[in-house]
Structure 1
Amino acid sequence: MTTTHGNIEAPRKAPVPSAPARKKRRRRLDAPSMPIRLVKGLVLLIICAVVIVPFIGIASTSIADPKEVTRAGGFVLWPHGINFSSYESLFAGGVVTQALLVSIGITALGTLVSLTGSTLLAYSLSRPGSFAHQPILIMVLLTLLFAPGLIPNYLAVKEYGLLDSFASLILPTAINAFNVIVLRAFFMGIPRELVDSARIDGAGDFGIFWRLVLPLSKAVLAVIGLFYAVGYWNSFFSALLYINDTGKWPLQLVLRTYVINNSQLGGAQLGATADQLPPQASIQMAILVISIVPILIVYPFLQRHFAKGVLTGAVKG
């Protein structure tokens, strides 16, 4: 309806669309077209195939029949039969079994030591009134900018008498500065009022840390613990430098020696006779599977903590 004043007609007001209509229009404008969605789906499919197909080939070769592996030239994408002779040879008590036990022990103990030390250090640095707060924080930050180098690290390990010992695989890398900074940022994000109320109730510094801070930090502790565990599990360079006894080799160093360098695993290393050994390709692929599967099992249980544990701490810091 319009009103006129003399010969001038008032403009009409455009009808205001309803809320559902606005949402539908916004969804239509934001949604990509069908060709773009097809291209994205195709790209994701190719990326998944590039990641999954090699792993399927590794797992298939490790459980394929030895004759089929020999006929295929050492790589079977889909086996016609299942044979676990490669895993039986690896777990017969030879070097791979010993290396697996070493890796499990180093990963468990190293993660516990690193997570405990990093958590205590990060919490002390997050408290403004802690002893030598600023100098220690500067020292931690400097380690991110200036690495000591290979030779000083080796000389330090040698002078402390850690050569050819399991401690050389844990102590030199026990504290990671980046993980300490992430933990510190997360601890600083805990409301000051909670700490003050706990102190008013009579809790001491250790009681606040144990009963209040740690329960609130389960997400970030899980993520940092996973970072340390993956680092210890995948580490081989420290063992290559500091360990001379092959009985103390971790699994990753065995993987590097007998798979990447293509060295032959004989019956003496596997605890079996030469005529009982499957093809070397099957043994090598089985070692790869053994080295990958533990992390694949643990990762899904901690994946949900990544956004809350790492990103929250990083943004609030």
Structure 2
Amino acid sequence: MICIECTYPDLQNLYSKFKSNYIKLTLCPRCGKVADKYIEYDNVLLFIDILLLKPQAYRHLAYNVAESELLKDSITSINYTNLSQDGSTTISDLTKSFNRYKNLIRFMTMTILFEVYLIWAYEEKNKAHSLALTYILQKKVHQQYCFFILKQLVDQFLFCTSVYILYKKWFNWDKKVNKNINSAFQLSYHLLVLLLTIFISSSIKTFPIIMLIWPYDKTSISATLTKVAGLLNTTEALRINASSSYPFTLSIVILSALFQFICSRLILGLGIAYTSKTIHFKDILIDEFWEFSDLRNLYDRIIEYIQS
């Protein structure tokens, strides 16, 4: 557990519970403030503070909630001593792992499904499509849905993997030891913190789902602005939870976004070329190159839209 005010890392617990069900919040030994005030907050207030990019709210969710979820399974505790003698089977291990991370899996699934719906709706309303998307949008509805789910999964995997590798290489991200969690789950803990930070901050991209209720003409501009807002939000969230500088964090986010942009198109392009008898991978690459070269025109359209 950490203090969400000063990030003091060595707290054993966030509150003490007495026999009369009276709860006393833990005070941070470094700054003297309540270590985590959000224990007593309603989820609505926490949600509002997340929208306002309050550092304390992000630290509460990414660190303290993540650790609390892990420690619900006694095997993750530093006091657990029978780890090497655990005779569980592979199936039971998978079941325990799923139960351990079920809240994160549920949150990630909801976020991905919302983004799938948004991307699908944007592409259907767009008048111009790339060669690959033109091919996909001619397929049956369930095939289109599977494609956009696969695309979103690939995008998220590439982005999160890139962010983690860069933070590990340049910032020694997984070298900070949590004293409440045993060594076998230190990597899981750091991955959980990073994934929560990215998904919570990027969930702002799902808000334009409300805009789909009304007719909206400039969908490509709206989608681009939403992506930019999501990346900026992720930059701020990573800066807060990793205590890294703005230039460093922004560099990692931009590099990860570029890695995601290029590799995602290569992977999905290969998949489409493999399943299609009429479209070649070379044609998809050429089409994607011209689409990438048109980004300047899109930038001009965004500026024109903002000024109008």
Instruction: Give the TM-score range, shorter chain.
Output: under 0.3
Instruction: Output the TM-score relative to the length of structure 1.
Output: 0.24
Larger relative contact order (Cα-Cα within 8 Å, sequence gap ≥ 6): 1
**Structure possessing the higher radius of gyration over alpha carbons:** 1
Instruction: Output the TM-score relative to the length of structure 2.
Output: 0.25
